[in-house]
Chain A
Amino acid sequence: MQPVDRDQELVGIRAKLKELLVSNLNIEGITPDQIKDDDPLFGEGLGLDSLDAVEIVVILQRHFGVEVKDMEKGREIFRSVNTLANYVYDTKQGQK
């Protein structure tokens, strides 16, 4: 596996994630490309909450076939679009 593939794939995952977050979480007044890769998703930042967190679990399941079994570990994964994308990529690699 070449690093360049990983980077390219992550770019795609992040873009798709941003679109899904905005549409599925009904985030108003912001477009997907306005979300920065390292913006905090919860609290300050996008202002998401606990209900959004479990909704993101479903988004990952439905659209990436990736499961989050441990919500406590989820805190780290759900910090930003970047961490989410990395988790999706790494988990999918692990599934291969």
Chain B
Amino acid sequence: MNIAGIGVVGTTGRGVASLEAALNRGWTAPGLVDIRGSAGERLPVYAVPPEVLSDKTVLAKARRADRFTRMSVLAAWDALQDSGLAASVDRTRLGVIVATALGPHATTFGFLDGILDFGDAAVSPTAFSHSVHNAAASYIAMTLDVRGPTLTLTHFDFAFHEAVSLARTWLAANRCDAVLVGAVDELGSVMQFVCGRMLRPAADGRIKPFDFSVKPESVPGEGSVFFMLTRDNAGAAYGRLGAVSRDHSAVRSTGQSVQLLDACGLAKNETAYRTALMPGTLTAGYAPLFGSVMTGSAFHAAIAALMLKRQYRYAVPVAENPHGLDLCLETGAAVVDQVFCTRLDCAGRRGTLHLSAVR
């Protein structure tokens, strides 16, 4: 598939340029939030600043939309604009696939508040209808007038991988001529509490992707990344997004390649990443920029696409390297033929996204 456009909404701001600026800038310290319901505990987080979500023009039809949906709509809108195809793409041949691990949970809890505070018979229908996982896809379709298939899927580890794989299937089956594929996850106050209890927040605010620790540390993040994907014969803007592989033996690295590791402290144990390293490739990981996100693979895919388009490499934001890996330590022009984005789940299952440059 051809990556024709990208939209990003994250802690670093909105738009591909904001992500690129963050990559050039390097690591910045996370924010600290008070964990609701705790005795003064604080959690380092990479949150999306409210002003990033305040676009009244794009969100004109989304007055009721929550943060989850706003992040999604803005990223999808930007991906379509970035592709330059907004005016020409046939809306009946455009599809949307939204991947999420946790869905709009802040709105779900808001709905539960209604039940607990006012009883079963006096809850908000607006909160209920926005708490369903596919609310964001619905708003994307309304905002961009998408008349093709729209699908929201959920999985805790490989939601984005499955979404990319499904987009490929849709294009191959001729269901669409283009698909807006994206990932979104938010970090509401209840989830901050859950993170505080179930994860090991990094005391120094640094995610260490190359520690491969038995007790990895995290800095919870949030955001949304969308890709406008078309068939290969369309003009290439960023590069190609190939097959998603679960089986690592099938992935071959040729030319100048980089492997991005999704390690971000969400797995209970990250030692298995050592076994997933591809020989002869430079290793990198940028979770310290955007945070620990279950659908963080989408951020890495966007960074990979930037490397391929710009023929550029970005120094890893946190370079602690106890295992002596061949890390990407310098920022600057470089030949980049292929980028592999690798994610492992708790059981050591792998998912790898394969991106390649178009010459």
User: Given A28-B56, A51-B129, does the pair A58, B63 have CB atoms closer than 8 Å?
Assistant: no
Q: How far is the CA of A27 from the CA of B124 in the complex (A)?
A: 16
Which of A25, A52, A62 has the largest count of B CB atoms less than 10 A from its CB? A62
> In the complex the two chains form, is A27's CB within 8 Å of B63's CB?
yes
Q: Does B310 contact A (CB under 8 A)?
A: no
B132 to chain A, nearest CB (A): 13
Q: How far is the CA of A54 from the CA of B124 in the complex (A)?
A: 8
Q: Does A7 contact B (CB under 8 A)?
A: no
> In the complex the two chains form, is B125's CB within 8 Å of A55's CB?
yes
> In the complex the two chains form, is B64's CB within 8 Å of A26's CB?
yes
Instruction: Give the size of the chain B interface in residues (CB under 8 angstroms).
Output: 11
Interface flags for B112-131 (1: CB within 8 Å of A; 0: not) read: 00000010011111100100
User: Given A26-B63, A26-B64, A28-B56, does the pair A55, B126 have CB atoms closer than 8 Å?
Assistant: yes
Chain B residues with CB under 8 A of A26: 63-64
288-340 of chain B: CB within 8 A of chain A: none
Q: How far is the CA of A62 from the CA of B114 in the complex (A)?
A: 10
54-96 of chain A: CB within 8 A of chain B: 54-55, 58, 61-62
Q: How far is the CA of A27 from the CA of B56 in the complex (A)?
A: 12
Chain B residues with CB under 8 A of A55: 124-126
Instruction: Name the contact of A54 in the complex, choosing from B63, B64, B125 (C-beta under 8 A).
Output: B125
Instruction: Name the contact of A25 in the complex, choosing from B56, B64, B118, B129 (C-beta under 8 A).
Output: B64
Q: How far is the CA of A25 from the CA of B65 in the complex (A)?
A: 11
B353 to chain A, nearest CB (A): 37
Q: How far is the CA of A55 from the CA of B124 in the complex (A)?
A: 6
Chain B residues with CB under 8 A of A61: 118, 121-122
2-60 of chain B: CB within 8 A of chain A: 56
Interface flags for B98-122 (1: CB within 8 Å of A; 0: not) read: 0000000000000000000010011
B177 to chain A, nearest CB (A): 32
Chain A residue nearest in CB terms to B121 = A61
Chain A residue nearest in CB terms to B125 = A54
194-241 of chain B: CB within 8 A of chain A: none
Q: How far is the CA of A58 from the CA of B123 in the complex (A)?
A: 7
Q: How far is the CA of A65 from the CA of B65 in the complex (A)?
A: 27
Q: How far is the CA of A28 from the CA of B54 in the complex (A)?
A: 12
Chain A residues with CB under 8 A of B56: 28
> In the complex the two chains form, is A58's CB within 8 Å of B64's CB?
no
